[in-house]
Amino acid sequence: MKISVNQFIDFAYGDKRKDKTKAASIIDDLDVPYDPAKDRYKQFREALASFEDGKVSTSEFLTLHSGVSANKSAGYKILCKNYLDLKEDYALIWQGRSPVEAEISGLRITTAWYLRTEENNQRRIIFLHFGKEQLPREKERGLLTVLRLAKPDSAGVGILNIQPGTLVTSTRIDQIEADYLRKRAEKFMAIAKDILAGR
Share above pLDDT 70 across residues of the chain, in percent, rounded to a whole number: 100
Q: What is the mean pLDDT of residues 26-51?
A: 87
Judge: domain 2-197, CATH 3.90.320. yes
What pLDDT does 170 receive?
A: 83
What pLDDT does 107 receive?
A: 95
Neighbours of 138 (CB within 10 A): 13
pLDDT surpasses 90 at 96: no
Say what the pTM is: 0.85
pLDDT surpasses 80 at 19: yes
Residue 52 pLDDT grade (very low, low, confident, very high; cuts 50, 70, 90)? very high
Pairing between strand 107-119 and 2-4?
Answer: parallel
Pairing between strand 122-129 and 156-161?
Answer: parallel
Q: What is the mean pLDDT of residues 110-131?
A: 86
Question: Sign of dihedral through CA atoms 12, 13, 19, 24?
Answer: negative
More confident residue, 84 or 35: 84
